[in-house]
Structure 1
Amino acid sequence: MRSTTEMTDLILETAQKLPEVKAVAMSGSRANKSIPKDNFQDFDITYIVDDIDPFIKNRQWLDKLGKRLIMQTPDEMGLRANKAEEKFTFLMLFEDGNRIDLTLCSTSGIHPWLANEPVLKVLSDPYHLLTDVPDVSEKVYQIFPATQTAFAECCNEFWWVSTYVVKGLVRGELLYASDHLYTICQKELLRLLSWEAVLQKGPLNPGKNYKYLFNFLPLKQAPFEKLLNFSSINLCWQSLLATQDFFHSEAQNFAQAAGFDYMNTVAENIMDYTQEHYKAAQS
C-alpha cells in the first residue's frame, strides 16, 4: 500500500503536469489533525480548474493515480446528477487499498465550495486563489448541549417510531421493522447518548454516524452493541425491548441531570403497548 507521503506527492505531481489545475486542497479527516489516522481514510482532494469539462470528457489523466478497482461518478448518476457544472467528483478505490475522492471545482465555484468545506488544508496555490480559506475548524461537526425542545423531540420521535417497529414485527415484516429500529429509534438513542457525553465533557465531535461516541462513553459501548442483532423476528423483538429499556433509563437520568422534563408516562405506556403485542405474538 502506498504511504500517505507517496499518495500526497502523486496527487501534487499529477496536478503539476496538468497546467489547467490552478490549486490543490485536501479536506475531510486527513485534513483534521484531531482525527486518528488509519489506512482506510480517504484522500479527499479538490483540483481547482478554470473549466471542468475537458477533465470529464477525457479521463485518461486519472490513470496516472494508479490502477483502480472501481470508480464512481455520483454527479452524473441518475437523480444525483449535478447540474451546476461547477463541481464534478471521481470516487476511486485503487488496487493497493488507497482511495481518492477527487473533486474538480471551477474557479467560478470556489466560494460555494469553500462554504461547505469547514476543514481544509491547502496543498498548492500558486495563483493565490485560496487566500480566503478560513482557519481549520471542526466546530461544524461538534455536538452542543441539548435544549428542552430538542430533547423532547428526540424522545417523542423514539417512542412514536417504536410503534412502527411493533407493527412491522407483528406483521412479520423483518426488513420494515429492523430498518425503523436501527435507522430511527437507535439513532435517537445515539443522539441522546451524545448529549449525555456533552453534559459530562462539553461540546465534542462524535464523528460521522457517531463513530467516535464511545471514546467519550466507553461504558455504554457494550450495552449498545448488544442491541444490534436483528437477524430474525424474535431477535428483533428482543432488540426493540432492550432498546426501549436502554433509552428510557438514559432519558430519565439525562432529564434529571439537565433539569429537563421527560415524557415518563408516554414512555411507560409505549413500553406496555410493546410488551402486550410481544406477548400476543409469542402465544
Structure 2
Amino acid sequence: MHVNYQTTIVKTAEKDDRIRAVILNGSRANSLVKPDKYQDYDIVYFVTDIETVKIEEVIHQAFGEPIIEQRPDDMELGNEIGNTPISYTYLMIFEDYSRIDLTLFPIGELAKYKRDSLSVVWLDKDHLFDDIPQPSDRDYHVNRPTQRAFTEVCNEFWWCTTNVAKGLAREERLYAKDMMETVVRPMFTELLSWKIGCEHNFEVSIGKSGKFIKQYLSAEDYNRVLRTYSNANVQRTWDALTVMTTYFYELQLYLGKQLELEVNTSEANQVLKYIKYIQENPQ
C-alpha cells in the first residue's frame, strides 16, 4: 500500500490543536542529496502538551503500527541516568519500509530549540517560524582547524596507531581492529575532511561517517581510502595500516602548507619507525 507520508504527517498535525507546527529536517530537506527510497522523514512536531500526545498514542493512530520502533528517550542505553530530555522522539519503520524519525518538542521550551539549517516548514499555525531561511547544509560544513585541533588530532592518530601495531604483533585481532576502526580511523577521516574543506573554502559537508567523501576525492585518492579497510587477516590489516599512515602523513604535510599550520614531523617519523620495528619483530 502506497502511503503519502508528507500528507499524513501534515494532516495529522492540522487536525490536532496540540500540534502547532511541523518542520522537516535531514536529507529530505537537502537539495544537494540525491533522493532515494531509503531517505528517512526527519520530522519535528511542536506541541503544547507532550505527555497527552504520548499517552493517547497519536503517532500510532496516524501512521499505523511499525515493524520496529525505538523510543530513545525512554531507554537507559545511551542516556545519562537522571537526565530528563526536553523533547521526545519516536524512531519508526513501517511495513512499506519507510522510516519516520519523529520528535515532539514542547512549544513552552521553544527558546531552547536548536534550529537546524536543513529545515523546511511544513506547517506553522502560529507563525513561529516565519524567519526560517531557505534550507542549506551550512550547519554541517567542515570547520577550518585551529592549530591546537590539528596538533591534537595528529598526536591522537600517531599515538593510537602504535596500539594497532602491538595488537597485530600479538595477533590480538579483535583489539587491533577495534583500535583501528574506533580510534584511529576517526582521526584519519578528520584530516581527510580538512583536506576537502581546504579545497572547497570550507563550504562543504562530507556527510555522516564521511559518506560524501567519494565525490570530493580523485579516483586514485578514493581508492587509497578504500585500501585502508581490511578483513581480519593480520597481514592485510598491516597493509591497510601502512596505506593509512602513509596517506595521513601526506595529508599532514599538505594541510600544514595550505593552512599555515605547524607540523610535528618528528613525532610522525618516530612513530613510523616504531611501527616498522613492531612489524619486523612481532615476538
TM-score of the superposed pair, with normalisation by structure 1: 0.89
Aligned counterparts of 1:174 and 1:213: Cα–Cα separation in 2? 28
Q: Which amino acid in the other structure matches residue 178 of structure 2?
A: D
Structure 1's consecutive aligned runs of 4 or more residues displaced over 4 angstroms after TM superposition are none
Q: CA deviation at 1:116?
A: 4.5
1:74 aligns with 2:87: no
Kept after mapping to 1: 8 A contact 2:224/2:243: no
Unaligned runs of 5+ in 2: none
In terms of fraction of residues, the more helix-rich structure is 1
Identity of aligned residues (%): 30
Q: Secondary structure at the match of 1:124?
A: strand
What amino acid does structure 2 have at the position aligned with 1:160?
Answer: W
For each residue in 1:135-174, what CA deviation from the matched residue of structure 2 results, as whole angstroms up to 9, or x when unmatched?
5342221113333333222211110111121232233322
**100 and 273 in structure 1: CA distance in 2 versus 1, 3 angstrom threshold:** same
Aligned to 1:275: 276
Q: Name the counterpart of 2:240.
A: 239
Rounded Cα–Cα distance in structure 2 between residues aligned with 1:116 and 1:176: 40
Superposition deviation, residue 132 in structure 1: 4.7
Does the CA contact (< 8 Å) of 2:144 and 2:194 recur in 1?
A: yes
Q: 2: CA distance between counterparts of 1:129 and 1:96?
A: 33
Do residues 44 (structure 1) and 42 (structure 2) align? yes
Q: What is residue 104 of structure 2 aligned with on the other side?
A: 104
2:63 corresponds to 1:62: no
**179-188 or 203-212: which moved more?**
179-188
The equivalent residue for 2:201 is 202
Determine which of 5, 8, 31 is the counterpart of 1:7. 5
Seen in structure 2, the aligned counterparts of structure 1 residues 260 and 126 have a Cα distance that, compared at 3 Å, is closer
1:29 paired with 2:27, answer: yes
Please state if 1:185 is matched with 2:184: yes
Q: Which residue of 2 aligns with 1:266?
A: 267
**Equivalent pairs, count:** 279
1:122-271 paired onto structure 2 within 5 Å: 122-203=121-202, 204-219=204-219, 220-271=221-272
Deviation at 1:88, TM superposition (A): 0.5
1:217-246 deviation line (CA, Å, top 9, x unaligned)? 133211111111142333222222221112
- Compared CA separation, residues 216 and 168, structure 1 to 2 (3 A): same
SS at match of 1:78: coil
Q: Pick closer, same or farther for the CA change 1:248–1:86 going to 2, 3 Å.
A: closer
Query: Structure 1 regions of 5+ residues with no counterpart?
Result: none
TM-score by length of 2: 0.89
Distance 1:97 1:218, change over 3 A: farther
Cα distance between partner residues in 2 of 1:116 and 1:233? 46
Query: 1: distance between equivalents of 2:112 and 2:158?
Result: 39
Identify which range, 41-50 or 182-191, moves more after superposition. Answer: 182-191
Deviations 1:195-237 (A, max 9, x none): 2222222111111112112211133211111111142333222
User: CA separation in 2, counterparts of 1:101 and 1:119?
Assistant: 15
Q: Secondary structure at the match of 1:237?
A: helix
Report how far residue 85 of structure 1 moved: 5.6
